[in-house]
């Protein structure tokens, strides 16, 4: 109930502490954990100057909010990272004031961007992440909608540090069930160890033999057609899967070590997402892989780069990748090289 109220523009008028300071113009964005409003300061003589006011949903863990504010303060709004002007807590709601960015949607320019513009975009993004990673911080949700280009100045800004955390403060608790590890995959949950100083006053999967048996029963005579496209076929979607576990990041931009719930995750998590954005530019596909869950993403990349290479990657982090049937290698006519030539 409270989440739907926060998503309403009228809800902000229940906070006179905000409306006494700002004229609220419109809602600029809506995410899973917050709404962003365009506001004007009543005390600023420049009546044309807007600010972005992020209103965080009160059900979000206060430690996560504290972490976001601490990280924004440390980064200082430099090197294409969004600046935090101030933050305030009113009742159980937290507001963060930032510069307003009248941005160009990624979908409006990724197909028409030339080599020079793509190079400029990628350089700015890598510069922002170099600054973030210098402080041992993982952004964890790098994607085009979190790296905005201002329409007037053409300056870039890395935004939304709601999922960010420090490498040093983060750890993962490993949980296994009682099944034989040889016949099971993994189930991990994330426990972020953050100090309490406030800024404000597996599930296992059945054995491969069982999976094969279920696959045959589920698909019937039609058989699996996963290998013919970059997605999991309808029959395979109905097979039993491990329960969904919340992980940081956005579907399609999470790297294999996150999807496979590897214990040790580093700033390389962000660099994988940069690569996905780069592929979207080069291939003219956005989202590059449009899927429903992490299993579909793993299947798509196995189809793209090969089962053996994906197995090697899984083994390097102590995991096993089981796909039955194995997706066939891509035909030459379907290769990414052809996509780049026809972009």
Dump pLDDT digits (tens) for 142-165. Answer: 999 999 999 999 999 999 999 999
Taking the C-alpha atoms of residue 286 and residue 343, their distance in angstroms, rounded to an integer, is: 12
Domain of residue 22 covers 1-100
Last residue within a domain, chosen from 76, 100, 124: 100
Which distant-in-sequence residues (6+ apart) come within 8 Å of 333 by Cβ? none
Q: Give yes or no: residues 271 and 129 share one domain.
A: yes
Last residue within a domain, chosen from 100, 121, 143: 100
Residue 218 lies inside a defined structural domain of this protein: no
Question: Mean pLDDT throughout 43-58?
Answer: 88
Full-model pTM: 0.74
Q: Is the Cβ–Cβ distance between 128 and 31 less than 8 Å?
A: no
Q: Give yes or no: residues 19 and 154 share one domain.
A: no
pLDDT at 46: 79
- In the chain, which ranges are E strands? 22-30, 34-41, 51-56, 86-90, 93-99, 137-138, 147-149, 156-158, 165-166, 170-175, 187-192
Taking the C-alpha atoms of residue 201 and residue 246, their distance in angstroms, rounded to an integer, is: 29
| pLDDT above 90: residue 225 | no
Q: What is the mean pLDDT of the chain?
A: 78
Question: Mean pLDDT throughout 221-237?
Answer: 60
Residue 261 or residue 229, greater confidence: 261
Q: Is the Cβ–Cβ distance between 274 and 250 less than 8 Å?
A: no
pLDDT at 92: 85
Q: Which two tokens stand for residue 105?
A: 């949607």
pLDDT tens per residue, range 69-86: 999 999 999 999 999 999
Last residue within a domain, chosen from 80, 100, 120: 100
Residue 143 lies inside a defined structural domain of this protein: yes
Which distant-in-sequence residues (6+ apart) come within 8 Å of 302 by Cβ? 310, 321, 323, 326, 327
pLDDT at 201: 34
- Give the single-character DSSP code of 287: S
Q: Give yes or no: residues 171 and 247 share one domain.
A: yes
Q: Which two tokens stand for residue 58?
A: 């009160």
CATH number at residue 123: 1.10.510.10
Q: Give yes or no: residues 233 and 148 share one domain.
A: yes
């Amino acid at each position: 109930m409270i989440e739907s109220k926060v998503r309403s523009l009228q809800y902000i008028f229940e906070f006179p502490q905000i409306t006494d300071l700002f004229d609220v113009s419109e809602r600029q964005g809506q995410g899973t954990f917050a709404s962003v409003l365009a506001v004007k300061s009543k005390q600023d003589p420049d009546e044309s100057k807007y600010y972005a006011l992020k209103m965080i949903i009160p059900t979000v863990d206060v430690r996560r909010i504290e972490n976001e504010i601490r990280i924004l303060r440390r980064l200082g709004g430099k090197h294409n990272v969004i600046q935090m002007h101030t933050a305030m807590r009113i009742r159980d709601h937290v507001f963060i004031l930032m510069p307003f960015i009248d941005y160009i949607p990624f979908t409006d320019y990724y197909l028409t961007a030339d080599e020079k513009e793509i190079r400029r975009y990628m350089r700015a993004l890598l510069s922002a992440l170099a600054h973030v990673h210098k402080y041992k911080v993982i952004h964890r949700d790098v994607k085009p909608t979190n790296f905005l280009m201002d329409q007037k100045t053409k300056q870039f800004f890395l935004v939304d540090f709601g999922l960010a955390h420090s490498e040093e403060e983060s750890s993962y608790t490993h949980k296994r069930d009682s099944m034989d590890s040889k016949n099971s995959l993994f189930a991990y949950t994330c426990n972020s160890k953050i100090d309490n100083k406030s800024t404000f006053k597996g599930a296992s999967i059945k054995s491969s033999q069982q999976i094969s048996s279920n696959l045959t029963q589920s698909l019937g005579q039609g058989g699996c057609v996963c290998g013919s496209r970059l997605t999991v076929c309808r029959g395979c979607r109905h097979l039993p899967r491990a329960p969904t576990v919340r992980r940081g990041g956005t579907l399609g931009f999470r790297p294999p070590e996150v999807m496979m719930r590897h214990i040790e995750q580093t700033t390389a998590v962000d660099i994988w997402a940069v690569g996905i954005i780069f592929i979207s530019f080069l291939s003219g596909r956005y989202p590059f892989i449009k899927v429903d869950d992490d299993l579909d993403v793993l299947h798509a990349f196995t189809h793209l780069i090969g089962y053996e290479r994906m197995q090697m990657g899984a083994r390097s982090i102590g995991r096993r990748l089981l796909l039955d049937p194995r997706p066939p290698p891509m035909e030459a006519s379907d290769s990414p090289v052809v996509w780049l030539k026809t972009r």
